[in-house]
Amino acid sequence: MSFDFIPKKEWNFGLLYDRYDKKALEEELEDIKKRNLEFAAKWRDRKDYLENPEILKQALDELEQIEATIGTSGKPGYYYWLKYQLDQQNTEIKAELGKIEDLGTYLENELEFFRQNISRIPVEKQQMFLDYPGLAEYRHMLERMFIAAKYLLSEPEEKILNLVSKTAHGNWVEMISDFLSREERKVLNEDGSESVKNFSEILDTINSINKKVRDSAAEALNDIFAKVAPVAEYELNSVLHNKKVSDELRGFKRPDESRHVSDDIDSEVVDSLIEAVSSRFDISQRYYKLKAKLLGVEKLQYHERNVDFQKPDVKYDFEKSAGLISKVFAGLDEEFRGIFENFLKEGRIDVHPKKGKDSGAFCVHMEKDLPVFVMLNHTGRLNDVTTLAHEMGHAINFELMKKKQNALNCGTFTCTAEVASTFMEDFVLDELEKDVDDEGRLAILMERLNGDISSIQRQVACYNFEKDLHTIYRSEGYLSLEKIGGLFLKHMGAYLGEAVELSKGAENWWVYWSHIRSYFYVYSYASGVMISKSLKKMVEDDSAFVKKVKRFLELGTSVSPRDAFGELGVDIGEKSFWMKGLEELDRMLSEAEGLAGRLGRG
């Protein structure tokens, strides 16, 4: 499918500013500061909004307008943050971003009283506020605030934690990301020549179907990780200590409890998911055994676990990938296609890797009234097609929310965040499977399995790794590089099985895994994939069901995840739900094994 326009491949910063004017941005920040402080001054000493639901609605409406338009850093903060993702060695950008982040922390502290006061409304009065019709759109937010109140510290204590979070956590994590982005190494190219590549490009090269090329990239990565690992040891211990102190102060009983509270999900639901997936690591172990056979090796090296199984001549340039995805989105819902094509026309997708650019891919949104952006590192692999679909799933989710929700509900819970993204991926893979021979179908089936296993078994193994890191740190006080590496190999080996050799250097690959610095975020990938597959089956059975999926994507944080899924007929509280999803994964793997056998490849 071709477009009647030329897709833009770099972020169009004109969507934020017609031109860069540092003085104008500084003036804008002063206005942001002024508006936030005016709100604080108006409500700080008042108590009537804690007694009268009508007045609370007035206060929340005013806060919502601030959150929708400027937040605590607004367009200037967004602009510099996006610039930093493209140029992580630019010290001028880092300096400006640092000042804006400091302002944001200051303003959040100035508004802390408001959250504190609402959260501490006496229990006997809370129902009056929850039942007030004028507060209906804020009802679930208030419910969550009342529940979270028992973990709140005093206003001065919360301010102190906000102030030190940058030095206790943020700066450490950014330091490792910055160190990695600076690294370059000489590696093999597909034609046998050598060239210097940046960290992001090397990460992509490890998935080459040419073993010499991917081994060359792995050697470079092992060297980079070995260089950064001694510093990352101190970084990770600082991150673990910061979490320990916070949990002890707030009264959380287990390291992952704060994540569950913030995600509005019962720990028992997450536990049932983790237990179910951990009990079926045999699926991923069989998958890697099959992949090793298909690639003609006795064992895969650790860095080879994501290697594409596809024909060498199959490439997906960005235009081809975008055309295919536009076609799939149109088949689901015309609004999906419209959103995607607007991103292409307006320059809201930064496509190709470049020196200094952040690795990987993401979709980001800030204030409700500001545009959503997507970042890729597209090089033409099959995986890059699904990555584009994945990130646009997030983008569609955000755009639908922005149309229906107020700014205070315009977000996603962790356990719902990955549903839209993986839902879109699956339909794109269905399209790729059409009109292909058995070899092509096997390649796509292996790619589908690779994505699902990476999102389900691998992320649950990472969750188990995180639990061990925090638990052992809290008993031993410090984790050596050797201890961290040993735990990493233990949990990666559990899901990979004997068909993957945890070769020398693999013990340091946790260094660049950013999710473990975000505390137990990774379960959302497993839950998102299995939930999205359930929804996909419902759409396949009845195409009109996509309207209900859209309704779900519009909900934001206005209802609990369990209630949101319940409206779709999904009960995430039942362990049997997760087991059913794993059985579907088992069936897909059996199909791949059978197809490989018929082709004489298994």
pLDDT in tens, 422-478: 999 999 999 998 888 888 889 889 989 998 999 999 999 999 999 999 999 999 999
Give the residue from 116, 131, 152 where a domain finishes: 152
- The answer on pLDDT for 89 being more than 90 is no
* pLDDT tens-digit series, residues 120-129: 999 999 999 9
Show Cβ contacts of residue 169 under 8 Å, excluding neighbours closer than 6 positions: 238, 239, 242, 517
* pLDDT tens-digit series, residues 276-322: 999 999 999 999 999 999 988 999 999 999 887 765 567 899 999 99
- Strand-pair partners of 188: 194
What is the rounded distance in angstroms from the CA atom of residue 416 to the CA atom of residue 410? 13
pLDDT of residue 311: 57
Residues 167, 47, single domain; the answer is: no
Nearest Cα neighbor of 396 from 404, 407, 406, 384 is: 404
Residues 41, 131, single domain; the answer is: yes
Give the structural domain span for 355: 318-436+538-572
Nearest Cα neighbor of 572 from 529, 520, 521 is: 529
452 within a domain of the structure (yes/no):
no
Rg of the chain (C-alpha set): 24
177 within a domain of the structure (yes/no):
yes
Query: Domains in the chain: how many in total?
Result: 3
Nearest Cα neighbor of 116 from 171, 158, 75, 65 is: 158
Residues 130, 166, single domain; the answer is: no
Q: What is the CATH number of the domain that holds 129?
A: 1.20.140.70
What is the rounded distance in angstroms from the CA atom of residue 458 to the CA atom of residue 448? 14
What is the rounded distance in angstroms from the CA atom of residue 387 to the CA atom of residue 405? 27
Nearest Cα neighbor of 509 from 498, 522, 493 is: 493
Nearest Cα neighbor of 48 from 56, 57, 38, 58 is: 56
pLDDT band of 587, cuts 50, 70, 90 = very high
* Average pLDDT, rounded, for the chain: 94
pLDDT band of 222, cuts 50, 70, 90 = very high
137 within a domain of the structure (yes/no):
yes
**Residue 190, Cα to own-chain centre: how many angstroms?**
31
pLDDT of residue 335: 98
Q: What is the CATH number of the domain that holds 392?
A: 3.40.390
Cα separation values, 271 from 2, 285, 521, Å: 46, 22, 14
User: What is the average pLDDT across 585-596?
Assistant: 95
Q: 191: helix, coil or strand?
A: coil
Residues 139, 23, single domain; the answer is: yes
Dihedral angle at the C-alpha atoms of 115, 117, 118, 121, nearest 10 degrees?
Answer: 150
pLDDT of residue 310: 62
Give the residue from 221, 248, 275 where a domain finishes: 248
Show Cβ contacts of residue 202 under 8 Å, excluding neighbours closer than 6 positions: 185, 187, 217, 220, 221, 224
Amino acid letter at 217? Answer: A
What is the rounded distance in angstroms from the CA atom of residue 38 to the CA atom of residue 47? 17
503 within a domain of the structure (yes/no):
no
**Residue 99, Cα to own-chain centre: how many angstroms?**
26
283 within a domain of the structure (yes/no):
no
Residues 166, 147, single domain; the answer is: no
pLDDT of residue 331: 96
pLDDT of residue 274: 96
Contact status, residue 447 vs residue 382, Cβ threshold 8 Å: yes
Residues 404, 375, single domain; the answer is: yes
pLDDT of residue 204: 83
Within 13 Å, how many C-alpha atoms sit on residue 546's CB side?
A: 15
Buried b (16+ CB within 10 A) or exposed e, 348-376: bbbbebebbbbbebebbbbbbebbbbbbb
Give the residue from 203, 229, 248 where a domain finishes: 248
Contact status, residue 381 vs residue 204, Cβ threshold 8 Å: yes
Residues 65, 175, single domain; the answer is: no
- Rounded to 5 degrees, φ, ψ at 574 are -95, 125
Residues 129, 30, single domain; the answer is: yes
326 within a domain of the structure (yes/no):
yes
Residue 330: Cβ-neighbour burial (10 angstroms; 0-12, 13-18, 19+):
middle
- Rounded to 5 degrees, φ, ψ at 130 are -65, -30
User: What is the average pLDDT across 530-543?
Assistant: 92
Residues 27, 68, single domain; the answer is: yes
Q: 498: helix, coil or strand?
A: coil
Residues 51, 126, single domain; the answer is: yes
Residues 428, 542, single domain; the answer is: yes
pLDDT band of 219, cuts 50, 70, 90 = very high
Contact status, residue 535 vs residue 427, Cβ threshold 8 Å: no
Residues 66, 178, single domain; the answer is: no
596 within a domain of the structure (yes/no):
no
What is the rounded distance in angstroms from the CA atom of residue 560 to the CA atom of residue 90? 41
For residue 197, the surrounding DSSP H or E stretch is strand 194-198
Within 13 Å, how many C-alpha atoms sit on residue 111's CB side?
A: 22
521 within a domain of the structure (yes/no):
no
pTM for the predicted model, two decimal places: 0.84
